[in-house]
Amino acid sequence: MSGVRPILGGVTREAGPSRPGSAVWQLERSLDKWFGSKTRAKPYAALGLGCVEDLLYHFPRRYEQPGKPTYFLSDLKEGEHVTVLAQVVSASARVSQDGMKHIVKAQVTDGLGTTLDLTFFYHRPQAAAWALRRLRPGAQGLFMGTVTSYRDRLQLTHPATSMLEDSLSAADRAVIDAQIPIPIYPASSSLSSWKLQEVIGAVLDTVPLADIPDPIPAEVRAQENLPPLAEALRHIHQPATADEWGPAQHRFRFAEAFTAQVALGRRRVEAAAMPGVPRLLPPPAEAFGTLLHAFDERLPFHLTAAQRRAGNALAAHLSESAPMQVLLQGDVGSGKTVVALRAMLQVVDAGGQAALLAPTEVLATQHLQTLRSLLGPLAADGEPAPSPSPDGPAPAQVRLLTGSLGAAERRATLADLASGRAGIVIGTHALLSEPVDFADLGLAVIDEQHRFGVEQRDVLRTRGSRPPHVLVMTATPIPRSIAMTVFGDLETVTLDEIPGGRPPVSTHVVPTDKPAWMARVWQRTVEEAGAGHAVFVVCPRIDAHDDGDTAAVAGAASAAPGARSVASVEETQAMFAREPSLAGLRVAAMHGRLTSVDKEGTMRAFADGDIDILVATTVVEVGIDVPRATLMVVLDADRFGLAQLHQLRGRIGRGSEPGTCLLVTGAAPQTPASERLAALAQHRDGFALAELDLDLRREGDVLGAEQSGPTRSLHLLRVARDRDLIAHTRMVAWNLVVGDPHLRAHPDLADFLARRLGDREEYLERA
């Protein structure tokens, strides 16, 4: 890996070589060269550790105190991979019934009244006897493994074990007697916490820590009372007392927030140098002839107070020359589409164009129908129609662009976009293809933004000579979106009010291991269909061999593949056909492999009452408005994320009848998956769910293209916990970059951003 510089989380990018032998050169060394073996480096790569610097920034997740266990055994949950410090209460050995194995059972405690069972298996009696000697009552040890359940008790089966007094020298015993904290690292089944501690200790003793450039300028360290980098690295990995690792952790939390805010601040300075086009509202005396005024006059309902506030905020943003980047968040049914349409009309009135990007053809078509219905005579298809009145505005041409359009219609639409005749276009990923050009794109609206990658969302911003305003909409923000709003890279406009008259939707978790409950699910399906209501049944897969139509979202804690059968559309539809109790129900399928014509026809029949039950994948997740739908059954619900499940729940209860959402799951109790479903059943508020999702999934890669996963820019910083620190570092960073955006006065900070952020910095303005 010569000439490769590390970025956060072990990702690398090409860069010029560092001076051989320097501290930075040593940090850049790949672990296979450090160990002299690719095989030895492989377990580290599985944790995202590719070079020496990654090891230094692989911080302990907590610290244990010998003689005073601090990890509460009562907090353990089945399925977790854990490392616990505990004291042995008892241990015994027996021979298995077949006489082939020697089983050692031990019980350990955290000293707070909770115990945990340990089970070890050995083939030789000598090994079992050796284990019993180590596991004597009163001895302390570190035990690492996956929490399972046996006879309603949690246990670790054959955990990796390190007894604190194993092979200790006199000096080592003095260390334990001195109560030096034990760092517990994020580990894996093939790489224990104590092995990481050993290897990181070797790095600390080899790399000249004092020579590593400190990215935090000296004046900032002094102002914030932060320890220097070398001291902080030593104290976070090898604290001599409990008072040392706290300040070190704070220093690295500050550093993560500060360097992110410096990078974001530099982007804001650059963006200010490339202003967009203000889309001004006309003076009140001239507003009568605008599309926006005419639209407000013909609305068949009153806007909520939240919609008016949001509309005023967006109008102010659109009137500025700086391109807005706004997240419009509102729970399902809060009226985001109307707010977004009013913003689009303001842009069209000002001579620009607006594009609405939707993740699926079904949703794009639904948006087209909704917008044309709301606009009525103010919308035109093809050539502009006559004005609705002599003094009124000319209608806006509203077009659709999807991948399934015929060649002639596609050419006509593209020509209208390029010439400026089309004021509003609704499209799918087809809007992102190269041939699409706009005469004057003033506003890009991205619906259900969690369904698009950062790079995809950014393409629309390149469709004009000047950057357009950007509005992203979501009902349940993904963790990364919340993180970006906290970091200050996205302004937030919130719809915190639901229009009156919406009936409630109740949510219940249905375990698959309770046959009576499952029978009731299908009985309820028959009852709802018999009453003339519509029913959704959602599956993770199209067929038994499919990996998922839209699959489980990143971060959904699904069961391991093959652990149990996963529901599919085809199998569920077949089940409806063969079950006598379900006979006579009109059932249809909806998934991504259907043609757009078939999808549109099926949805129309479902909405019109010609279909009772729609068995579908998550293509029905957003934008589907069927007022008669009252029941949502989600099979293998643990395979979906909170945002998806909340959106699916939003498809029912949209008429006058209340809705019921049944989350069918085989997830074991007390697992992250079951906790997520329980939270959904408890909370109706999409924002509360988003905050919970942030705690469960973390914030994703805040400074990069990733939206979730193990590779992320933040190690110690947590957005939900550290909001005040993040806000503070934004001011500190802005004061530094506003007068020196190129960081010429701070070369160590500039080099750190280049080395640790690298190409990710390009993503910052696209979030």
How many domains in the chain? 4
- pLDDT given for residue 684 in this prediction: 79
Distance from C-alpha of 326 to C-alpha of 323, rounded to nearest angstrom:
10
pLDDT tens column, 103-146: 999 999 988 888 899 999 888 888 889 999 999 998 888 888 88
Domain-located, residue 404: yes
**Residues 347-367: what's their mean pLDDT?**
89
- pLDDT given for residue 272 in this prediction: 73
Residue 751: pLDDT band with limits 50, 70, 90: confident
Q: What is the CATH number of the domain that holds 662?
A: 3.40.50.300
Domain-located, residue 410: yes
pLDDT tens column, 297-310: 988 888 989 999 99
- pLDDT given for residue 482 in this prediction: 57
Position with higher pLDDT, 315 vs 324: 315
Question: At which of 454, 474, 494 does a domain end?
Answer: 474
Residue 697: pLDDT band with limits 50, 70, 90: low
Domain-located, residue 545: yes
Q: Are residues 82 and 50 in the same domain?
A: no
Q: Are residues 533 and 582 in the same domain?
A: yes
| Three-state SS annotation for 247-272 | HHHHHHHHHHHHHHHHHHHHHHHHHH
Query: Mean pLDDT of all residues in the chain?
Result: 81
Above 90 in pLDDT, residue 316? Answer: yes
Q: Are residues 397 and 458 in the same domain?
A: yes
Domain-located, residue 418: yes
- pLDDT given for residue 430 in this prediction: 86
8 A C-beta contact, residue 380 and residue 396: yes
Q: Tell me the angle at which helices 479-487 and 723-737 cross, rounded to the nearest 10 degrees.
A: 50
> Which one, of 651, 591, 657, lies nearest residue 625 by Cα?
651
Q: Which of 560-574, 587-601, 633-647, 695-709 has the lowest mean pLDDT?
A: 695-709
Q: Are residues 51 and 27 in the same domain?
A: yes
Q: What is the CATH number of the domain that holds 95?
A: 2.40.50.140
Counting beta carbons within 10 angstroms of the beta carbon of residue 614, is it exposed (0 to 12), middle (13 to 18) or buried (19 or more)? buried
Q: Are residues 76 and 110 in the same domain?
A: yes
Residue 46: pLDDT band with limits 50, 70, 90: confident
For tokens 């606009």, name the residue.
375
- pLDDT given for residue 599 in this prediction: 87
Q: Are residues 393 and 527 in the same domain?
A: no
Question: At which of 474, 496, 518 does a domain end?
Answer: 474
Q: Are residues 513 and 632 in the same domain?
A: yes
> Which one, of 206, 240, 246, lies nearest residue 227 by Cα?
246
Looking at the chain, the whole-number percentage of residues with pLDDT higher than 90 is 34
Question: At which of 133, 149, 184 does a domain end?
Answer: 184
- pLDDT given for residue 260 in this prediction: 86
Q: Which of 70-84, 167-181, 721-735 has the lowest mean pLDDT?
A: 167-181
Residue 4: pLDDT band with limits 50, 70, 90: very low
Q: Are residues 18 and 142 in the same domain?
A: no
Q: Are residues 405 and 356 in the same domain?
A: yes
Domain-located, residue 575: yes
**Residues 16-45: what's their mean pLDDT?**
81
- pLDDT given for residue 550 in this prediction: 40
Q: Are residues 584 and 623 in the same domain?
A: yes
74-78, 181-185, 507-511: range with highest mean pLDDT: 507-511
Distance from C-alpha of 92 to C-alpha of 104, rounded to nearest angstrom:
6
Beta bridge partners of 119: 105, 157
Q: Are residues 438 and 524 in the same domain?
A: no
- Structural domain harbouring 109: 62-184
Residue 220: pLDDT band with limits 50, 70, 90: very high
Domain-located, residue 139: yes
Q: Which of 219-228, 243-252, 270-279, 737-746 has the lowest mean pLDDT?
A: 270-279
- pLDDT given for residue 486 in this prediction: 57
Q: Are residues 456 and 537 in the same domain?
A: no
Listed in order, strand segments (DSSP E) in 110-159 are 115-122, 140-150, 153-157
- pLDDT given for residue 762 in this prediction: 45
8 A C-beta contact, residue 204 and residue 183: no
Looking at the chain, the whole-number percentage of residues with pLDDT higher than 70 is 80
Distance from C-alpha of 707 to C-alpha of 446, rounded to nearest angstrom:
16
For tokens 């599985």, name the residue.
46
Domain-located, residue 716: no
Residue 483: pLDDT band with limits 50, 70, 90: low
pLDDT tens column, 377-401: 999 876 544 444 556 788 999 999 9
Domain-located, residue 696: no
- pLDDT given for residue 518 in this prediction: 93
**Residues 328-344: what's their mean pLDDT?**
88
